Structure 1
Amino acid sequence: MDESADQTLSGWRLQGRRVLVTGGSRGLGEAIVKRLVAEGCTLAVCARGVGQLQQLAERIEQRGRTPVFTRALDVAAPELLEDFVGDAAARLGGLDGVVACAGGASGRGLEGASAQDWMRTWELNAGHAARLLAASAPHLRAAGGGSAVIVASISGWKPGPQAQYGAAKAAQIHLAASLARELGADDIRVNAVSPGSMLIPGKRWDRMRQEDPGAYAAFTREVPSGELVRPEEVAAVVTFLLSDQASGISGANIPVDRAQNSPTPQGY
């Protein structure tokens, strides 16, 4: 973990908050976990990779932080996510916040995507977020309220391939707005955060930067500053929304994209 994760960065008074994060072992999810650890949260984290989860937990514990409850699972698998929520709440003594960060896409363009690709993409994104909140709501309610953050994408309202991914992300944005009203009477806030294209080591845009610098330079012109958003910048917004400083924010979709235009090199 970065040395910066050893400091409380914001003073947002999250010390001791019990937070569950899906897809928290790498990329944006890892950045969110690091930030929440720095803020003093107690965490439960799930992801598909056993090894990556173990390494994450070891790095946190080596820094003298509270042990993290982890479990390897596919968030789209029936009942596994719900079981993890229940076990996490029991292990942490309740839940004060949840972050639906796991996601992804299956299939290619319209004619190359099967019905299974659409179903898989839906379950990884909107389906998993809905089931996470349904399973978490009783625990958040028992804690006197809480905050849920759904990690969507600018692809949810800025069109680009593949359609199944954009449609699932748009559903997540609507889900946050709808559930904010449904759960608001119990002081449960629900918001969406929509990251732009992020420069994550080893992922799509980092590979493009190394393998085709010209194409990468052309793509970064979609961002006025010429620089893609960093995962740490998105993690800071997620952390803020989990805090009491965001007590008046619910049902919102907050872009964190440096005013990016198209989410893909293909443009609108």
Structure 2
Amino acid sequence: MNGGRATPHRGGDTGWPGVHGKRVLVTGGTRGLGEQIVRLLAAEGARVATCARTARGLDALAASLGSSVFTRPLDVTAPEELEEFVAATGKRFGGLDGVVACAGGSRGGGFEQADAEDWAATWEVNVGHAARLVRAAVPYLRKAGGGSAVVISSISGWKPGPHAQYGVAKSAQIHLAASLARELGPDGIRVNAVSPGSMLIPGRRWDRMRREDPDAFARFVAAEFPGGAPVAPQEVARVVAFLLSDWSSGISGAHLPVDRAQNAPSPDGY
């Protein structure tokens, strides 16, 4: 390590430094995109910490990855739990070089059905947790000479679709990244937002739709995906790894959609 920046280890014609030796904390790392980010970072030689609500998924992840991953079950919206995990990770790894706010979700139905508690819960699990993660990590990133924070937003944060409380929270994450990039830039800390499109994740909404109603899925793809298919979580994970690497040193305050030029975020309207 050198000032929080990993020494290039691959050589070759590209000199790609990757994330080898980076110390990274990822929230929500046991399913879907979060799991793919954790697995890619670990495979690339990073030291990775991750958290999720239940121990079961974390235990399975740790068993498959071994000592390269540090896990803890926690609720990212619970007071101090996330901050304590950041501190524990910094102590265990001797610092931090990057964080990824991947945990997220939505509560409540349509606009007339979602109440104030649904809006507050959706905001906290997306925007609140991301802000607290970055804030808790700042002392470690600053001590390392700078680092990278990646906030996972969504296509719903910049292309309208139901439900409103989710889209508003995801839009706020994009603004959060841009604002923090300006505020933390003097410390060498970069902050960026990544907005995945509708991803095919086993057992999740679009995968179920593909299996249970293939005709509706085909219509959705034909209408909304110029590239002919939804984006895969592995493709998004590679973009996140790039933003954590030193090769992205000139990128901060950016919003990077990874959606194959998808149009509407769902077949439900708009």
TM score, norm. by length of structure 2: 0.93
Please provide the CA RMSD for this pair. Answer: 1.1
Give yes or no for contact 2:193–2:256 (8 Å, CA) kept in 1.
yes
**C-alpha deviations, 1:119-168, integer Å up to 9, x for none?**
11001101100000010001100111000000000100100000000000
Report the Cα offset of residue 67 of structure 1. Answer: 3.3
Letter in structure 2 aligned against 1:41 = A
Quote the residue 2:86 is aligned against.
85
**C-alpha deviations, 1:171-208, integer Å up to 9, x for none?**
00000000000000000000000000000000000111
Give yes or no for contact 2:18–2:242 (8 Å, CA) kept in 1.
no
Report the Cα offset of residue 266 of structure 1. Answer: 2.2
Corresponding position: 1:42 with 2:43: no
Report the Cα offset of residue 21 of structure 1. Answer: 0.3
Letter in structure 2 aligned against 1:26 = R
Quote the residue 1:3 is aligned against.
none
Secondary structure of 1:111's counterpart equals coil
Cα separation, 2, equivalents of 1:27 and 1:151: 12
Cα separation, 1, equivalents of 2:159 and 2:94: 40
Quote the residue 2:260 is aligned against.
258
What count of residue pairs does the alignment treat as equivalent? Answer: 256
Give yes or no for contact 1:12–1:240 (8 Å, CA) kept in 2.
no
Secondary structure of 1:69's counterpart equals strand
Cα separation, 1, equivalents of 2:258 and 2:69: 27
Cα separation, 1, equivalents of 2:265 and 2:19: 32
Quote the residue 1:4 is aligned against.
none
Distance 1:25 1:124, change over 3 A: same
Aligned with residue 248 of structure 1, among 240, 247, 250: 250
Cα separation, 2, equivalents of 1:260 and 1:14: 29
Report the Cα offset of residue 78 of structure 1. Answer: 1.2
Cα separation, 2, equivalents of 1:234 and 1:96: 20
Quote the residue 1:159 is aligned against.
160
Give yes or no for contact 2:27–2:102 (8 Å, CA) kept in 1.
yes
Long gaps (5+) in structure 2: 1-9
- The 5-angstrom pairing of residues 56-135 of structure 1 reads 56-61=61-66, 66-135=67-136
**C-alpha deviations, 1:92-112, integer Å up to 9, x for none?**
110000000000000000111
Letter in structure 1 aligned against 2:242 = F
Long gaps (5+) in structure 1: 1-7
Quote the residue 1:146 is aligned against.
147
**C-alpha deviations, 1:14-73, integer Å up to 9, x for none?**
211100000001100000011101110001101112111010011001xxxx43110011
Letter in structure 1 aligned against 2:103 = A
Cα separation, 2, equivalents of 1:188 and 1:208: 40
Cα separation, 1, equivalents of 2:18 and 2:61: 24
